[in-house]
Structure 1
Amino acid sequence: MAGSVEHIGPRLKELRQRANLSLRELAQQLEVSPSFVSQIENGKSQPSVATLYSFATLFSVSMDALFQEEWSEPIPRPKASPEINKSDEASHPYDIWDDSAARISAVSPGNRTLITTESGIQWERLAATTEKSVNFMEIVYEPGTESLELGALATHHGYEYAYCLEGEVEVVIGDLMLTLSKDHSIGFDSSIPHKFRNIGSVRFRGIWFTHWCDGPRNWKLIK
């Protein structure tokens, strides 16, 4: 399933209105300005990865849902996880898909949920079980792209783990700056301010595993 950034604004506005929140009230919860929220809703500003996560967390929806052109009541979860069918009618688990996350998730390449931003960042969901506190993804950063707007860092509860498949990406974690290159891996406490940036001439592709600790995710941007 591919996602389109052109649908983000209308989706966020609809979510805000369903929650009976004004622009100012939503902005206060996200710790941003009302004008910034308005610009995103009207398609005049492109939200960063961290901002998208903040919206998704606040409204209790998946990242995928923010990119959908349409949704019905209730808001659907992404169709990215097959349900194992115990009958003899299915030839393979990959042929059976459920509308929600399954206890067993086996995903073939052509059936992964894919989200692409205008800036050149891609998230491809590799599996989706009923465990809501983890994300297992392949992430791509095209040359010159970064996870946050210039100068900003993100912080949130939980831990992140990453393994580089190709290319390299600059990683800033607190006062530490390092380069994640092919076959190298990292893990860190996500409450430490961090960001990622591809400063090379080739795309970066890596495997990401994020784990949210108990309690609110509390995404914050630090500028």
Structure 2
Amino acid sequence: MSTEESIGERLRSARLARRLSLRGVAQQLGVSASLISQVETGKTRPSVATLYALASHLDVSLDELLGLGAVERPGGAATPVSSSVQRSSDNPVIEMENGVRWERLAMQPGGAADPVLVSYAPGASSSIEGKLMQHRGQEYGYVLEGTITLQLEFDTFELHPGDSFHFDSERPHIVSNRGDVEAKGVWFIVGRGSAGSVLGAHEAGQAQRSSESGTDALHRSIGA
């Protein structure tokens, strides 16, 4: 089974466990039911924005998406798999639409931060549709290679190797690579939810509705 199929199956299982329909989730997130179906069956890779929205709405953590479970300890207690050192060849990877790649770095399972090595191919963007995204938490980043373009509401910044950033993730934002070489950086997303989850389902619905209204207003203002 491919990575896309595995992630899609986990999203589908989470949706069914919550007794949510494709149409209902699609309506809540403002996307088509066919797109969610294609993601669940591994026929298409989601954009960063779509993956965030689905994981948030279904209350699925990054480790759960990657299938990183727990091991059984003596006495029957299940403990998350953990190691102080993680080799690059062991980095769990999520390949997303339009040339965006996430590699989950070493972390304490269930911790407050998601450390990710991100790669953006030339022309890649966190949202294929060009819509700005919002979610709970704080984002920190450090650019390693290439040039990253970060748009925060009405402000746009070009970030080069050695540059760093921080912002409240509830601010409408989009990340892209407008250059002609691959761009890489290390991102830390902090405080996206308890027990490593992106958001609780109820909070995700509220955040998504806020995102849609706020982003639409912003797009009307800037003529996007």
Fold match by TM threshold 0.5: yes
| Deviation digits for residues 92-111 of structure 1 (CA, Å, limit 9, x no counterpart) | xxxxxx97253x63212222
Note the C-alpha offset of 1:116: 1.8
User: Which residues of structure 1 form unaligned runs of 5+?
Assistant: 68-75, 80-97
Measure how far apart 1:44 and its partner are.
5.5
Confirm whether residue 140 of structure 1 aligns to residue 119 of structure 2. Answer: yes
More deviation, 118-127/32-41: 32-41
Task: State the Cα deviation string for residues 70-115 of structure 1 (Å, max 9, x = none).
Answer: xxxxxx5358xxxxxxxxxxxxxxxxxx97253x632122222122
What are structure 2's unaligned runs of at least 5 residues? Answer: 71-77, 217-224
Q: In structure 1, what residue type is equivalent to 2:91?
A: R
For residues 168 and 19 of structure 2, the distance between their equivalents in structure 1, rounded to whole angstroms, comes to 34
**How many Å separate the matches in 2 of 1:18 and 1:46?**
22
State whether residues 125 and 174 of structure 2, in contact with CA within 8 Å, keep that contact through their aligned partners in structure 1.
Answer: yes
Question: 3-state DSSP class of the match of 2:98?
Answer: coil
The one-letter amino acid of 1:23's match is L
Name the CA shift for 1:127/1:42 in 2 (closer, same or farther; >3 Å): closer
Q: How does 1:141-220 map to 2 (within 5 A)?
A: 141-212=120-191, 216=199, 218=204, 220=208
Instruction: Specify the SS of the correspondent of 1:127.
Output: coil
Aligned AA for 1:100?
A: P
d(CA) in 1 for partners of 2:133 and 2:111?
20
Cα separation, 1, equivalents of 2:172 and 2:51: 17
Report the structure, 1 or 2, having the larger helix content: 2
Q: 1:113 to 1:38 in 2, by over 3 A?
A: closer
Question: SS in structure 1 opposite 2:149?
Answer: strand
Aligned 8 A contact 2:151 2:173 in 1: yes
TM-score, scaled relative to structure 2: 0.73
Secondary structure, aligned partner of 1:15: helix
Identity of aligned residues (%): 36
SS in 2 for 1:135: strand
Q: Which amino acid aligns with 1:212?
A: G
Specify whether residues 30 and 99 from structure 1 end up closer, same or farther in structure 2 by C-alpha distance, changes over 3 A only: farther
Residue 128 and residue 18 in structure 1: after superposition, are their counterparts in 2 closer, same or farther (change >3 A)?
same
Q: Measure the CA separation in 1 of the matches of 2:165 and 2:97.
A: 27
Q: 1:28 to 1:118 in 2, by over 3 A?
A: closer
Once the 2 structures are TM-superposed, how far is the Cα of residue 126 of structure 1 from its aligned partner? 1.4
Give the aligned residue type for 2:86: V
Shift in Å, 1:39: 4.1
Q: Taking structure 1 as reference, are residues 131 and 9 closer, same or farther at Cα in structure 2, changes over 3 Å only?
A: closer
For residues 160-180 of structure 1, the C-alpha deviation after alignment (integer angstroms, 9 at most, x for no partner) is 011011101111011110111
Cα distance in structure 1, aligned partners of 2:93 and 2:80: 16
If asked which structure has higher relative contact order (CA below 8 Å, sep 6+), I would say 2
Deviations 1:148-193 (A, max 9, x none): 1222111011110110111011110111101111111111111100
Alpha-carbon displacement from aligned partner over 1:41-86 (angstroms, at most 9, x marks no partner): 355654211221222233333335446xxxxxxxx5358xxxxxxx
Query: Are the structure 2 counterparts of residues 182 and 66 from structure 1 closer, same or farther at C-alpha, using a change threshold of 3 Å?
Result: same
What CA distance in whole angstroms lies between the structure 1 residues aligned with 2:56 and 2:152?
A: 22
Structure 1 letter corresponding to 2:57: L
Match of 1:100 in 2: 80
Name 2:37's counterpart in structure 1: 38
Paired residues, number: 196
Take 2:98 and 2:193, find their aligned partners in 1: how far apart are those partners? Answer: 32
Question: TM-score w.r.t. structure 1 length?
Answer: 0.74
Corresponding residue for 1:89?
Answer: none
